[in-house]
A and B are shown apart, each in its own frame.
Chain A
């Protein structure tokens, strides 16, 4: 077993353990933090596969932004765990069935011919100056440009929808426009009065 294998098995163990923790942890904050750990170790595994751009983007986007907002929300929730676990055994058979179907579907896809090991030869190691950032950019903006633009449009629609759903105009707010505040001159607020000094009686 080489050095790389040890790193791989270390990351894989942490990843599986933290992923299990996400679904078994009782405290939702702990679950969210374990999910962060899972993302991070996953990024480590991608680095081993020489996909440094994707790995760093995973950390930057999911760990650095998405999970922060997740934690933000989860921490403010006052979750009653008793209430959440009430119908667990009643719904367990249904959930187990769903899980089995999903596992079977994944097995069919992954164990099929397209994904077998002889279809996926070990890729040749790239030279040290090979930049997969550049390669990814070239692919996205040439071969997959339509798919990319579609994804961008869908995201844009989602942004507009999210803003439209939450935007409310309340009357009577005491909002001040900072531009107006900044533009105020001294003469608008203060009146200089020249008073002649008076003699002491």
Chain B
């Protein structure tokens, strides 16, 4: 690494060398994050189809394989789907705003990938260790709704427009509840830095995780996350029984697939954030021998996979919410719960130190 830095310094001079070096280094690191992420997205679609199939007593995809190996049957399906989507024509409807129509999928996937810049995968593995990491992720996920709105408007179709309207209202409503739930977390951790939030949950076992004192906030955050990613049972933006396919009804080929990539990348992001801020991130559930032998990165992956399973489980079991009930849940149930919890948490934090340093409060407030 230092050798490469020197090489850049010699090649581009003292002024430009360091800047270009950090640019190149960051680009390589970005590719190192995005490639496994996209692979994860591809195989999440396979996992979804397989798991929902098992829940509905079907088999799921079991045909496409690599080099004819029988026990890999089904594992080639995401690759085959991607190749099929790439080969298809992107049809631009009459009267559509061509520029915005093409821009919309790009605007959806960009924030979904950009949010990963501040996610720490282990104490050392983080691309940008910034102070306001949690805030940055909130800002990026709130950007994702533009792709959906623009897609709905630029398609020049009533179904797409209705889907976009529903999605915009839904995302804006649930963002508030999500933000308030995160306020509780940062009140406890005294930090917006995701690495520091995980470090605040250290202390020996899973009892110290923020999941225990903030359990209602975990539920609010996770359900809001499902709503924010427009997943079932909150998928009224697509609502195939009412508005065909919602905002992406006019899209075809790779443009359509990009919306799906963004949706699954956002799902993984919500699961990752929930495991970082509520489930202790890379910390093992018990700080004793067999658990500490497994590296922290594997623990994080396990927690993410566990939460992602819930996304698929919801989709297989719950019927779709009615639109007005979605709004009611967001505004009249979640936001009051989070506000009450913030006040309660603030009151507990103002208790005299003799209380805070005694069992059980000393597990979380330190």
Chain A positions near chain B (C-beta within 8 angstroms):
2-3, 29, 33, 36, 52-53, 56-57, 59-60, 63-65, 68-69, 71-72, 75-76, 129, 131-133, 178
Contact = CB atoms under 8 A, between A and B. Distances in A.
A31 to B, nearest CB: 13
Contact of B149 (A2, A56, A57, A68): A68
Contacts of A36: 146
B273 to A, nearest CB: 15
A65 B143 CA distance: 9
A201 B19 CA distance: 97
A64 B169 contact: no
Given A57-B139, A69-B168, 9 more contacts: A3-B16, A3-B19, A33-B100, A53-B132, A56-B139, A59-B142, A65-B175, A75-B149, A133-B135
A68 B168 contact: yes
Interface residues of B, number: 29
Interface of B: 15-16, 19, 100, 130-132, 135-136, 138-139, 142-143, 145-146, 149-150, 153, 161, 164-165, 168-169, 171-172, 175, 192, 325, 328
Tell me whether chain B's interface is mostly helix, strand or loop, or mixed. Answer: helix
Contacts of B139: 56-57, 59-60, 63-64
Contact of B328 (A64, A65, A133, A178): A178
Contact of A56 (B132, B150, B153, B171): B132
Nearest to A1: B15
B275 to A, nearest CB: 23
A57 B164 CA distance: 24
A33 B147 CA distance: 11
Contacts of A53: 132, 135
A133 B172 contact: no
A3 B146 CA distance: 30
A53 B131 CA distance: 9
A132 B15 CA distance: 28
Contacts of A33: 100, 150
23 contacts: A29-B153, A33-B100, A33-B150, A52-B131, A56-B132, A56-B135, A57-B139, A60-B142, A64-B142, A64-B143, A65-B172, A65-B175, A68-B146, A68-B149, A68-B171, A68-B172, A69-B172, A71-B168, A72-B165, A75-B149, A75-B161, A76-B165, A133-B192
Contacts of B325: 178
Contacts of B164: 75
A53 B168 CA distance: 25
B136 A56 contact: yes
Given A29-B153, A59-B139, A52 B172 contact: no
Nearest to A67: B146
Contacts of B328: 178
A65 to B, nearest CB: 6
A59 B143 contact: yes
Contacts of A75: 149, 153, 161, 164-165
Nearest to A175: B324
A129 B132 CA distance: 11
A87 to B, nearest CB: 28
B138 to A, nearest CB: 6
A75 B148 CA distance: 13
A76 B169 CA distance: 14
Among the interface residues A33, A52, A68, A71, which one has the most CB atoms of the partner chain B within 10 A? A68
Contacts of B165: 72, 75-76
A39 B330 CA distance: 27
B146 to A, nearest CB: 7
A21 to B, nearest CB: 13
B105 to A, nearest CB: 15
Contacts of B175: 64-65
Given A64-B175, A75-B161, A133 B131 contact: yes
Among the interface residues A2, A60, A178, which one has the most CB atoms of the partner chain B within 10 A? A60
Contacts of B153: 29, 71, 75
B202 to A, nearest CB: 19
A29 B146 CA distance: 12
A69 B176 CA distance: 14
Contact of B143 (A63, A72, A76, A132): A63
A69 B175 CA distance: 13
